[in-house]
Structure 1
Amino acid sequence: MRHTLPIAPQFYVTAPQPCPYLEGRMERKLFTALQGETSEKLNNSLSKQGFRRSQNVLYRPSCSDCTACLSARIRVSAFQPNRSQRKCINRNADMRRNASSPWATEEQYALFRKYLEARHAEGGMADMDIFEFAAMIEETPIRSRIIEYARPEGAGRELAAVCLTDVLDDGLSMVYSFYDADLTKRSLGTYIILDHIDIAREAGLEFVYLGYWVPGSPKMGYKANFAGVEIYKGGRWQPMGDPNAHEEEIHPLSVEPIAEQVAHLTLPDSLPAADKS
C-alpha cells in the first residue's frame, strides 16, 4: 500500500511482521527512498523526526496499535560518563580507531559473522552473505564512514569492533555496529558509543543518534544508561528522564493514520512543502 505527498518523496508502508523486540507484537514501518541530489538534506531532516537509514532507505516504525519504539540520541553537551563508563574507557585505552570511506572487507565480515552467531543467531541478519554485507556497508547515498577499532597484536593489529556511521548536519548516526563478543570484559558496545560521543564533541556536533530504544526490551535497555539521552516522543525530542516512566501505548487509536503521519512530516527547504491542509 502506498501513501504519497503531492510531491516527491514517496512514502510506503511495509507489511506487518513479527516484532524483533517485544514478543507477540507485530511491527510495520513507514519508509521512503534516498535518491538523487536531495538525499543528504532529506536524511538530515527525517533523522530529526525519528527516521533511521538502511542502505538507500529511510524508515520509521509505524505499527498499527503500538508506539513502543522511540528514537534515541545523546546530547553531547549534557553527557558525563559515570563510574562504570570511565572504567570502560580505561579498559579500552589500547584500542586504535581508524575511520575511512565505507568499504567492506573480509576481516569485517568474519567479525560480523562471529558477532551474529554469539548475539543474534536467530535474527533477521543471520543468513546475510558477504555480498549482502558489502551492500549494507557500501550502498550509501550520503556522507558515511566505516569506523574500525583494533587492538595491537604483535607487529600488526586485531580487529575488535566496527561501526557504520552517518555524518549528519547536527550529529553522528550509528547505523550499525558489531564487535568481538568474546571480549566481554571490555564492554565494546558501550565503548563504541562513548568513542562516538568523543568524535562528535571534537567535530563540534550536537548529538549521537543511537537508533531505537524500546521500553521493556532487554535488548535495548543499555541505551538508557547514558546521561543526556533524549527520545523522540509525541512529535518532539525530550529528555528521557526516568526510563521506567515510559510505557508503550497499545491501542488502535494510539497511532495516527499513515496519511496523517506523512502530511505532518517536515521536508527540507530544497523540496516543496507538504500539503498539510
Structure 2
Amino acid sequence: MNTQTTQSPQFYLTAPAQCPYLEAERERKVFTHLVGPRAGEMNDLLTQGGFRRSQNIAYRPACEHCRACVSVRIVAGEFLLGRSLRRIQARNADLVGVERPAYATAEQFDLFRTYLDSRHQRGGMADMSLDDYKVMVEETHVETRLIEYRVATGLLEEEGELVAVALSDFMVDGLSMVYSFFNPAYVKRSLGSFMIIDHVARARTMGLPYVYLGYWVKGSRKMDYKKRFQPQEHLTGQGWERADPGDFEA
C-alpha cells in the first residue's frame, strides 16, 4: 500500500462496482491515504470537501453518471429537537455516553457482530473478524474517539450494559461520525438517532459548529433517517448551503 507523506496528497480512482444504495447504479470512488504528521489537518480539509474516512483512507464518490450522494452536516448551534426526537431522548435518559481512546475491545466486537448479523448480513462488512474490527477502530492517524453508551447502574461506568458505540473523528470544526452500531434488540430506543442527538450536544459543549453525517443518498430509503436532523447543510457545487426540506424530495 502506498503510504506517501508528501505535502500534496496523491489521489486514486477505484474500478466500477455495484452501488450498495441504488441497485441500478455503479459506484466509483476517489481516495487518498491519511498518513504522516499532517493527517489530521488533511482529514479536516477533506471532510469539509465531502470526503469520508475509513481507517487510513479518505474517499468520496466519483460516479460517472450519478450524483445521488450528498454530503450532509448538522448545524449544531441551531439544532432543535422536534417532538419525535424529544421522545427518543427521553427514552434513553438512562444511558451514559463515555468517550474512550480508539481502542477495540472484545465487548465492543460482540455488540458489533450482533448488529451486523441483524442489520447487514449481506453487506461488505458481514464477515469481519475481531482483527478486522481492531483495524477499523485503531488504524487511524487522526484524532479519533470511541463513545460507548451504557445503561446507567449507579455504579462504575464500565458496569452498565453496553448498548451502542460510535466511532467519531474530532475535527477543528465539528464531529464526524465515522461509524456507529447498537443492540438491535432495543428497537424502541432508536439508538442510531439517539447517538446523533448526543453528538450534537457534545459539539455544542465543545463549541464546534457541525456534526458531519456522511452522505444522504437520494432515492435510498435506508438514508431517509438523516432528514430528521435539522437544520443541516448540503455540499453543492457552490460549497456548503443550507438545505431546504424540498431538497429531500425524490
Superposed pair shares fold, TM > 0.5? yes
Q: In 1, are the aligned partners of 2:218 and 2:248 still within 8 Å (CA)?
A: no
Distance 1:224 1:181, change over 3 A: same
| Structure of greater Rg | 1
- More deviation in 37-46 or 230-239? 230-239
Deviation at 1:152, TM superposition (A): 3.3
User: How far apart, CA to CA, are the structure 2 residues paired with 1:152 and 1:8?
Assistant: 47
Query: For residues 135 and 206 of structure 2, what CA distance do their matches in structure 1 show?
Result: 28
Structure-1-length-normalised TM-score? 0.84
Alpha-carbon contact 1:146-1:165 (below 8 Å) kept: yes
Separation (CA, whole Å) in 2 of partners of 1:40 and 1:152: 33
2:24 aligned with 1:24:
yes
Q: Which residue of 1 aligns with 2:83?
A: 83
Contact persistence 2:164–2:182 (CA under 8 A): yes
How far the C-alpha of 1:176 sits from its partner, in A, is: 0.2
Contact persistence 1:39–1:141 (CA under 8 A): yes
- The SS at the match of 2:37 is coil
Report the 3-state secondary structure (helix = DSSP H, G, I; strand = E; otherwise coil) of the residue aligned with 1:10. Answer: coil
| Pairing partner for 2:215 from 190, 207, 212 | 212
On the 8 A contact 2:12/2:32 being kept in 1, the answer is yes
Equivalent residue runs for 1:101-250 within 5 Å: 101-152=101-152, 156-243=159-246
TM-score (norm 2): 0.93
Query: For the Cα contact (< 8 Å) 1:51–1:59, is it kept in 2?
Result: yes
Q: Which amino acid aligns with 1:240?
A: A
The answer (yes or no) to whether the contact 1:27–1:63 under 8 Å persists in 2 is yes
Contact persistence 2:15–2:28 (CA under 8 A) = yes
Counterpart of 1:59 in structure 2 is: 59
Give the number of equivalent residue pairs.
Answer: 242
1:202-243 alpha-carbon deviations (Å, 9 max, x no partner): 000000000110111011000011111111122411122125
- Cα distance, 1:238–1:116 mapped onto 2, change above 3 Å: same
Structure 1 stretches of at least 4 aligned residues deviating more than 3 Å after TM superposition: 152-155, 243-247
Q: Which runs of 5+ in 2 are unaligned?
A: 1-5
Identity %: 48
Question: Structure 1: which amino acid aligns with 2:84?
Answer: S
RMSD: 1.5
Segment drifting more, 152-161 vs 131-140:
152-161
Per-residue deviation, 1:76: 0.8
Amino acid at match of 1:159: L
Residues 144-196 of structure 1, C-alpha deviations (whole Å, 9 max, x = no match): 10000001359631100000000110000000000001101100000000000
- Aligned equivalents of 2:103, 2:85: Cα separation in 1: 30
Letter in 2 for 1:183: Y
- Cα distance in structure 1, aligned partners of 2:154 and 2:245: 45
CA distance in 2, matches of 1:235, 1:215: 19
Preserved contact between residue 215 and residue 243 of structure 1 (Cα < 8 Å): no
Aligned to 1:13: 13
Which amino acid counterpart does residue 181 of structure 2 have in structure 1? Answer: F
Code of the residue aligned with 2:194 in structure 1: it is Y
8 Å Cα contact 2:18/2:25 also seen in 1: yes
After superposing the two structures, state which structure 1 stretch, 229-238 or 54-63, moved more: 229-238
Task: Please state how far the C-alpha of 1:8 moved relative to its aligned partner.
Answer: 2.6
Return the alpha-carbon distance in structure 1 between the equivalents of residues 21 and 194 of structure 2: 23
Structure 1 CA distance for aligned equivalents of residues 176 and 61 of structure 2: 17
The whole-number CA distance in structure 1 between the counterparts of 2:118 and 2:153 is 23
How far did 1:244 drift? 5.0
